[in-house]
Amino acid sequence: MTEDQNQRVFRPLVRWGASSRLADNVENLLTGVQKMTSALEKVMSGLERLTAGFENLTEIAENQAERIENAEAQIGKLSVRIEEIGGKLDALIDIVEKEHRVFHQRLSRLESNNNPNG
């Protein structure tokens, strides 16, 4: 309560013949109310900051969840691609092994045809 508001409360008390002790009690009461009001304003301010912080954390969590979903989708695509590449590598290895066997068979035939002792 402002000083002007206090004066509006106290002047009528004095005019009505209220004792100074009553006026002091009322003043103490009003001072207590002012302190409680100030404390409540601080609590409300803190609650507003807490709410804003919670909203920020919620937004961050939602963004993080979206990033995780995107990463999982990319990992899924990469795993499919890796399986495709693995299949192609297996096929290529099979071809190389077959050609290697054929080459050695031909080489052995050539060597045995060119070898007079064979």
Higher pLDDT, 64 or 16: 64
Task: Inform me whether the pLDDT recorded for 60 exceeds 90.
Answer: yes
Does the residue 60 lie in any domain? yes
Does the residue 69 lie in any domain? yes
Task: Inform me whether the pLDDT recorded for 95 exceeds 60.
Answer: yes
**Cα distance between residue 30 and residue 81, in whole Å:** 76
Does the residue 98 lie in any domain? no
**Number of structural domains, the chain?**
1
Does the residue 112 lie in any domain? no
**Domain that residue 20 falls in:** 3-83
Does the residue 106 lie in any domain? no
For 11-58, the pLDDT digits (tens) are 665 555 556 666 677 788 888 889 999 999 999 999 999 999 999 999
**Quick one: CA dihedral 34, 37, 42, 45, positive or negative?**
negative
Does the residue 109 lie in any domain? no
pTM across the whole model: 0.49
Alpha-carbon separation of residue 12 from 18, 20, 32 (angstroms)? 9, 12, 20
- DSSP for 34-51 reads HHHHHHHHHHHHHHHHHH
